Amino acid sequence: MTHTRLVLNFPGFEKTPVGHQLDRIRHGAEKTAALWDYRNRRIDIEDRPAESCAVSRWQSEGDGWTVETRLVQFDWHDIIETYENAPHPRAFFANFPKFLAFFADGTVARYFRHAKRYFGFTIFPLLLIGAFFAVALALTLGVAGLAGSGSIAAWLVALPVALAATLLLCKWPGERFYLLLTVNDWGFARDMVNRSNPLIEERYRRFARVLAREISGGRHDDIVVAGHSFGAVWAVAALALALQENPALLAGRKAVFLALGSSLLKIAFAPGAQFMRDWTARIAAEPGVFWHEIQTKDDLIAFYKADPFAALGIAPLRAGLKIERIRFRDSMDKSRYRAMRKSFYRTHRQYILYQDKRVAHDYLNRLFGPAAQRQG
């Protein structure tokens, strides 16, 4: 029996080139195949920079079955680099006010109402910067012998020096806590809400064209639209725009929308992001889609226990929906789990990495294994 699968895969916010992303998938797929007692190999890979993607073919074989997977890995690391590669403190001055805008427009209050753990992640940069400033100010006053001085002159000297020192602390040790990465991530998010970055706008349309062509150009047994973290936002945009252009795109087909640690609500909760709520509603109205959301309490950078459609007031649903809550400790060796938990960014990435134990939510097994994808 030969089973064919089309995977349209949208990665999260990391400036890893698409080829390296596919190599990481290959490494994980080999471990996953060994865990599940089958063989997996990547047949070929074609980089398509003009379409911001790479297309690869894979084959998995087990006892009496074969799965051929066509994996389209979408690529937006070049956009991320425009945020990540700008020098400090220029990038900080550009993106920190955009981060604060999420507080000013009430978006962060919505995070608090629907996902208090994500609210904690949101205020983390403020708390860390505040701690850096307190340390810098105390050291400045102490070194200058101004501690306890209430004179205006003392503060006029101490404050600029403390602010400059705070910027240095944001670089180091701030980078060890992913502070600048987090601030840049929020800057990107604000540009996405405001639709102020033409690179993002053009990439929406490009991804939608590729997705539509891939779906309409073949008859696969399974279609999986997968998005990790910010990738889920790109996936919503691409699929919704493709459906707007061709409402019959999924006629006679069914697709699983696999959202892993989704950042959709990060954008869609913003008052100015009505377009994202509309796109999400378009997918919710599509009977050919089954939305499968994977969430974990381990992950601070996702909306644990939040139903994205209920939170956005989208009803009724014609698409199928399953929200599955997992724990990584149930799928990982203890030592690897403990190492992962030392970093909330490593934890956030674990959705798309290999697992050490057989579990139903295994992402790589969903991409390459024999089980048919659940359909609505």
Domain of 63, CATH number, reads: 3.40.50
Residue 328 lies in a domain: yes
Residue ranges of the chain with per-residue pLDDT less than 50: 375-376
Do 32 and 138 belong together in one domain?
Answer: no
Residue 192 in contact with residue 230, Cβ under 8 Å? no
Do 32 and 163 belong together in one domain?
Answer: no
Domain boundary among 159, 181, 203: 181
Residue 373 lies in a domain: no
Per the structure, the complete domain to which residue 303 belongs is given by 2-79+195-368
The burial of 186, by beta-carbon neighbours within 10 Å (0-12 exposed, 13-18 middle, 19 or more buried), is given as: buried
**All residues at 6 or more sequence positions from 241 whose CB lies less than 8 Å from its CB, including other chains:** 204, 205, 208, 279
Residue 325 in contact with residue 296, Cβ under 8 Å? yes
When divided into structural domains, the chain yields a total of 2
DSSP secondary structure letter of residue 285: T
**48: closest CA among 56, 58, 37?**
56
Handedness of CA 276, 281, 287, 290 (dihedral sign): positive
Residue 222 lies in a domain: yes
Q: Which tokens in the block code for residue 263?
A: 């950042």
Do 74 and 117 belong together in one domain?
Answer: no
Do 341 and 318 belong together in one domain?
Answer: yes
Residue 71 lies in a domain: yes
Do 152 and 201 belong together in one domain?
Answer: no
Residue 35 in contact with residue 356, Cβ under 8 Å? yes
Residue 91 lies in a domain: no
Do 232 and 139 belong together in one domain?
Answer: no
pLDDT of residue 341: 96
Residue 8 lies in a domain: yes
Q: What is the largest CA-CA distance in the chain?
A: 83
Residue 358 lies in a domain: yes
**132: closest CA among 166, 179, 182, 181?**
166
Do 105 and 172 belong together in one domain?
Answer: yes
Do 213 and 325 belong together in one domain?
Answer: yes
Domain boundary among 181, 215, 230: 181
Do 175 and 200 belong together in one domain?
Answer: no
pLDDT of residue 376: 39
Strands (E), 107-192: none
Rounded Cα distance between 84 and 178, Å, is: 12
Domain boundary among 131, 153, 181: 181
Q: Residue 212 — φ and ψ, nearest 5°?
A: -65, -40
pTM (2 d.p.) = 0.96
Do 205 and 351 belong together in one domain?
Answer: yes
pLDDT of residue 374: 59
Do 145 and 232 belong together in one domain?
Answer: no
Rounded Cα distance between 42 and 40, Å, is: 7
Do 283 and 344 belong together in one domain?
Answer: yes
Which residues face 60 on adjacent strands?
Answer: 40, 67
